[in-house]
Structure 1
């Protein structure tokens, strides 16, 4: 994402209505004025907009359109966790740590752990810890990495944790590049550095 994108350019390119950006004038190839800008990304479920060879998350462009700058905090989250709901009243800025702690609340698991097709992914801010077949193992790996980095146990998720939310994923072993050099709760000493 180009952090130097001019807000005036964004307002000149797009009209905004109810969380959707529309092209004001024909811009990229085969795009007509009034057409919905962007396309739905199949993996993330979020809208992406391509402009001048760069890809932008629609949520960030909506934020820029309304506020005239990107947030000082690194992340823009959706209050209702619907990746297609980019209404400005649904967007709020979060730090990397707040985003990590929110993931559990939003995803129905625990802070720092998300459910993926191949298992539970533990992540501290932007650092990948590992992928685990068990929610408890992923939660323990996150807690150990958090404690190592910050010196205290992680705070509890806002609104409690729903460990019964379940995670539907492929039970075959994850690809080798996802195993993160064999990191597990038993050998987490190197995580979080």
Structure 2
């Protein structure tokens, strides 16, 4: 059975562990964005920065940031959870993607992994979540994230009607001394 929001939220222990990766499965009550062509978006969760995760009718997972960026990040709810577990800093990978360059995203992922605080705790949480959900480790989470964002065609708008921009940001790890040093 594929992983769904209902199956996941029934597992309080796993939801609590995912909370350590800055993911909440309590959606906002008030909509603060619209998606062209979708009458009632199904928000399935959010993050500590005020972003929202939306399960689209296509079963893709859309991320809407509180800073006016949005895009599809996974082809299914299960792929979304796999991404979060494999790369809990997935949003930073996009921040340091140099405008959507896959090789820069891979560099960022390596540097971010090298800077993890409490690496043993993160790896233990990863293992526990995968085991609890019988969730396989994704083959290429960075490649899948790149493909999803690059192919994203959802148009998200703020309440004033202005469109959100892509999740790819222009920075590279060379813009961050911490990440630049971690990659060296």
Question: TM-score, normalization: structure 2?
Answer: 0.31
Taking CA–CA contacts closer than 8 Å with sequence separation of 6 or more, which of the two structures ends up with the larger relative contact order? Answer: 2
TM-score relative to the length of structure 1: 0.29
Q: Kindly indicate which of the two structures has a greater share of residues assigned to strand.
A: 1
